């Protein structure tokens, strides 16, 4: 009798910079997660609807069209708990961090350490009790 593999952590990465998105996706994949990538808030919402369970979202703040905080606000409006981490290089006065925390999202400033993003995702998923990975 074999043991069932633990379900993988599904992480939606919302980042318009292709290199940053790929680096994050490869890092999450290497650490046992299943990354899904989107370049815009609209694309992220569409992908979110297609997935049975997304455990966490890692979103840039500065995105084309809508900003990442808009995505955070809309995700908090749905009943499913989800861990959220925002990344940004533009929060010089702390307003983005404050707004994100008001919606239960942690902000990690660019440039960031990949390990810090992974740790923040795991903490966010645990904190909100996202659908069981």
Q: Read off the pLDDT of residues 94-110 as tens digits, 9 standing for 90 and up.
A: 888 888 998 889 999 99
In a domain, 133, yes or no: no
| Residue whose pair of structure tokens reads 């009790």 in the numeric block | 129
Domain range for 53 is 9-128
In a domain, 24, yes or no: yes
Taking the CA atoms of 129, 78, 87 and 25 in sequence, report the sign of the dihedral they define.
Answer: positive
Per-residue model confidence (pLDDT) at position 133 = 52
Tally the domains of the chain. 1
Residue 3 has pLDDT above 60, yes or no: no
Indicate the pTM of the whole model. Answer: 0.90
> 3-class DSSP state for residue 54?
coil
Domain membership of residue 47 (yes or no) is yes
| 3 in any annotated domain | no
The CATH code of the domain that includes 97 is 3.40.50.2300
């Amino acid at each position: 009798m074999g043991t069932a593999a633990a379900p993988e952590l599904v992480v939606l990465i919302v980042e318009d910079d292709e290199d940053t998105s790929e680096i994050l996706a490869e890092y999450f994949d290497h650490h046992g997660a299943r990354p899904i990538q989107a370049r815009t808030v609209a694309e992220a919402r569409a992908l979110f609807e297609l997935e049975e369970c997304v455990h966490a979202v890692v979103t840039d703040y500065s995105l084309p069209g809508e900003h990442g905080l808009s995505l955070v606000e809309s995700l908090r409006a749905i009943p499913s708990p989800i861990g959220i981490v925002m990344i940004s290089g533009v929060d010089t006065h702390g307003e983005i961090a404050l707004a994100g925390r008001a919606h239960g999202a942690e902000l990690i400033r660019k440039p960031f350490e990949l390990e810090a993003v992974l740790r923040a995702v795991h903490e966010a998923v645990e904190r909100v009790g996202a659908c069981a990975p």
